[in-house]
Structures are given as structure tokens and as C-alpha cells.
Structure 1
Amino acid sequence: MIRVVRTMNVPVAMPDLVAYLADFTHAQEWDPATVACVRVDAGPVRPGARWRNTSRFRGRDAEVSYRLDVQEGDRLVFSGENGTVAVTDDLRFTPAEEGATRLVYTATFRFKGVARLAAPFVRKDVERLADDVAAALPRAVTRRVP
């Protein structure tokens, strides 16, 4: 298992940031590894909503099916899975100074089967990906959310 945690201050009001990030389709704007993210069901974004996310990691594309599990005013939890990995993205929000929001983003990767053996070898790449998200997310949000 690999767990990465990144904390960032985003210059957007908390309700607006939570609403933006609840729609996982926006991952293609704030996650540099995401190639495409498509909603696979219809209706309002709420727990149970599902997406198909294609990410490029270590030069290869991987598709992961994501579901929104928790949607609260100060927390979002997404779970994703494919044949080799189960991912949990846990986002926690607190108000910060001058209308900004403090976001603590925890991503947990649980590798399956033979892929478990690769976990120690991909840790640095996962850490780098988390750094890239922490740098890109605040910029992407401020471009999209007034």
C-alpha cells in the first residue's frame, strides 16, 4: 500500500471548492496524469455517482472506475478500482484566511495480485504525482471557479 498526503491552500471559498472537486470529471483539469475523465451515469453529482478515468502513469495508460462515496460540506471521498489497484482519494476541507480553503488530499493505493510486488518500486513516482497534483490543483481551480 502507498499513501500520500498533500496539504494546499486554495484561494477559493470552501463551498465552491467542494462543489468543483465533487465532479470528478474536472480531474482532467487539476491532475496532470489524467488523460480523460468521463461521467458514466446521469443525474446530480451525489454519492454513488461514477466516472471512468484514464491516467498515464510511468508511460502507460490505465483506466480506473471511480465512485463518489462520501459528499459532505467538508469532505469528499472517491474510490477507484481496476484489475491491479484500488485507490481511495479522501479530500478534507477547512476554511482558511480571506475566503480561501485549506485542502488536505490523501490518496491511498492498494495494489492487487502480482502488482503488490511493484509497490516499493513505484513509490517515488506516486510521490512525484502527488507533488504535481498539489501544484496544479490550486491553479486549475482559480481558473475555473470565480
Structure 2
Amino acid sequence: MRIDRTVETSASTAEVFDFLADFTNTEHWDPGTVRTDRVSGDGGVGTTYANTSRFLGRTTDLTYVVEAYEPGTRIVLRGENKTVVAHDTMTFVPTANGGTSVRYVAEFELKGMTKIVAPLLAPAFTRLGDTASEQMRATLDQLAR
């Protein structure tokens, strides 16, 4: 499963990167996130986060690790639990008007028996991507005010 969305905001790239690179802020822009806590690290490569998310009425815990951290440009995280591996990549590009374009790609590799139901989950992942991008845009626009 793959979610690939681009969001534009009038907020500066520095503001947007700082906000989204702090993965504890997922609670503000990701509708599936119930809670995210930093477990270790300073936010850079190797930082670990404990994430609790809700999807299709079920709550699940994932451990995320920052795999790449390029200030103002890109952040990559890998999340995992017993049923899924998630790869989240956010890239940041300044826009001509001083704002930011954020491309958010989330790839989910289902494990074990959950692979069988993967095709049935596609519409739910599409809705999640749509809702997350709308909520991300609204949250980032508040940074610009």
C-alpha cells in the first residue's frame, strides 16, 4: 500500500521542516495518530518514537526510527510492529512565493496473514491519505500566521 501526496503551504520551509521533522507532532496533522512519544535521540538519525495509531477502528503500536535527516530537505522514518513495516518520507521544496511544497510518501508492507486482506484495504488507505493531506495543509497554514 502506498500513500503519495503533495501539500503546499505559505509557511516557510524552515518552519515546516522543524514542525514535521519532530514526529511527536503527528498528533496534530495525522488523523490516524492517537499519540507519539520520543523514546530516545535528539530528532536526528537514530531517534526512536513510540507511535499509537488507529486504523479502521483498531489501535496499533509502532516503533519508528529516523533513517535519514537532511535539515530543510528530507526526513525518512521506518515504523514497524508485528503486522506492518511503514516507510515514511517527507521532502521539502521552497516555493517561489516563500512557502513550502511538502511531498509525503508513506509505504506500508503488510506482514503475515494481513497480506491476504491487503487489496481490501486500498480504499481505506486512499481515504487516510486524503484526510492526512488535508489536515497537514490546514495545520501547516496555521504556522504561517
TM-score class, shorter = over 0.9
CA distance in 1, matches of 2:46, 2:88: 15
Following TM superposition, the consecutive aligned residue runs of length 4 or more in structure 1 with deviations greater than 6 angstroms are none
2:141 maps to which residue?
A: 142
**Identical positions, percent:** 33
Following superposition, the deviation at residue 141 of structure 1 comes to 2.4
CA distance in 1, matches of 2:57, 2:127: 14
Following superposition, the deviation at residue 98 of structure 1 comes to 1.7
2:63 maps to which residue?
A: 65
Does the C-alpha gap of structure 1 residues 95 and 144 become closer, same or farther in structure 2, counting only changes over 3 Å?
Answer: closer
CA distance in 2, matches of 1:142, 1:52: 26
Q: Is this contact kept in 2: 1:20–1:145, CA < 8 A?
A: no
Report the TM-score when normalising by structure 2. 0.94
Amino acid at match of 1:135: E
Unmatched 5+ stretches in structure 1: none
1:87 maps to which residue?
A: 86
2:132 maps to which residue?
A: 133
CA distance in 1, matches of 2:10, 2:66: 24
2:50 maps to which residue?
A: 52
Amino acid at match of 1:49: T
CA distance in 1, matches of 2:40, 2:29: 22
Q: Is this contact kept in 1: 2:15–2:143, CA < 8 A?
A: no
Name the count of aligned residue pairs: 144
Following superposition, the deviation at residue 145 of structure 1 comes to 5.9
Per-residue CA deviations over 1:1-46 (Å, capped at 9, x if unaligned) read x11210110221112211111110000000011111111115x211
CA distance in 1, matches of 2:39, 2:97: 37
2:73 maps to which residue?
A: 74
Report the TM-score when normalising by structure 1. 0.93
CA distance in 2, matches of 1:38, 1:141: 20
CA distance in 2, matches of 1:54, 1:144: 25
